[in-house]
Amino acid sequence: MLKILGGYFDISSKKDELKELDSKMNEPDFWQDQNKANKICQKVSDLKKEIKEYEELYSEIKDALELIEISSEENYENELKELEEKVSIYSKKAALSGKYDYLNCYLDIHPGAGGTESCDWSSMLLEMYQKYCDKKGYSYEEISLQKGDEAGIKSATLYIKGAYAYGYLKNEQGVHRLVRISPFDSNKRRHTSFASISVTPDFDDNIDIEVKDEDLKIDVYHSSGAGGQSVNTSNSAVRITHLPSKIVVTCQTERSQLLNKDKAIKLLKNKLYQIELEKNQKLLDEVKDSSSINFGSQIRSYVLEPYKLVKDHRTNYESTQPEKVFNGEIDGFIDSMLFNERN
């Protein structure tokens, strides 16, 4: 077990990375770029925590093996059970070994086939991910939110900040399908709705992606608000269309049009960079095309009628308690995909 954990987690590489970052922090001009410096400090903190967790678990496993050799089964059964639980938690963290898993991320929600039904379904998903973030201790910011004509939302972008946010949420990307008795149908018929989720890492600010001014169509509009004094009456919200890729990004969280434009450009660069890295991934093409957000392309189904079941079609992981899933309890689905990737 020790050998497996050591080889899989590659603790020596993390120690080497920590030494390299410590060296950077000792450079005289380290704090000239505050944003970059803060990211390095956070990475150093995360690495120290991971190394400490590994070394503590390593020590506990070693002690447990020695105990087994000298004790009767009755004496070490409880200790082994506790150790097994710790190993399970650690294995979950060790599964987050992707190059960009440790980064913060952007999560986009777009309704698909189904009209008002899908707009309402998209708002349900938005609330689900917000509750997940709350349970996880992640902070999030609504970069953009466009309300539906009758109900729900036409689109939303969350910026999610927390340790391994991208690693945990990356496999939520895809089409999510809802089956329920429609609250908008006076005849109480069953409807099927679709929404797509895309997840983009918040890559380092120094992304080597060129965005030409002539490739951008920039629109400004009034930011939507809750009403009253909070409404921004100026055209501060920004929508940017990248003409070659047809990618559209929006930002309306800042009162300044310039700040919203800067955030939107950053989001656009992240999306373009991800496409460059994963241009052979078929799913990226599917989620860019709203016509593919329909039956047959879903990764997960949420059935409320005629029975209750949430099922991930990639791992077959299931929950018969959709109310808990909508309350942000999606760790089971996330874990099943993490371990599915590992195996």
The pLDDT assigned to 324 comes to 98
DSSP states of 85-116: HHHHHHHHHHT--STTTTS-EEEEEEE-TTTH
The pLDDT assigned to 211 comes to 87
| Complete edge-to-edge strand list for the sheet that includes strand 247-251 | 216-221, 237-242, 247-251
Task: Give the pLDDT band (50/70/90) at residue 27.
Answer: very high
Task: Give the pLDDT band (50/70/90) at residue 91.
Answer: confident
Closest by Cα among 131, 54, 76, 87 to 327: 131
Closest by Cα among 223, 224, 191, 193 to 125: 193
The pLDDT assigned to 234 comes to 61
- The domain ranges of the chain are 2-94, 105-342
Look-up of token digits 């055209």: 235
Name which residue leads in pLDDT, 119 or 6.
Answer: 119
The pLDDT assigned to 88 comes to 72
CATH class assigned to 2-94: mainly alpha
Look-up of token digits 């109900």: 151
Tokens found for residue 99 = 């190059």
The pLDDT assigned to 309 comes to 97
Asked if the model's pLDDT at residue 188 lies above 90, the reply is no
Q: Identify the CATH number of the domain defined by range 105-342.
A: 3.30.70.1660
The pLDDT assigned to 187 comes to 86
Q: SS3 for 32? A: helix
User: pLDDT (tens digit, 9 = 90+) per residue, 156-185?
Assistant: 999 999 988 999 999 999 999 999 999 988
- 177 C-beta neighbours (distance < 10 Å), count: 26
Supply the mean pLDDT for the chain: 83
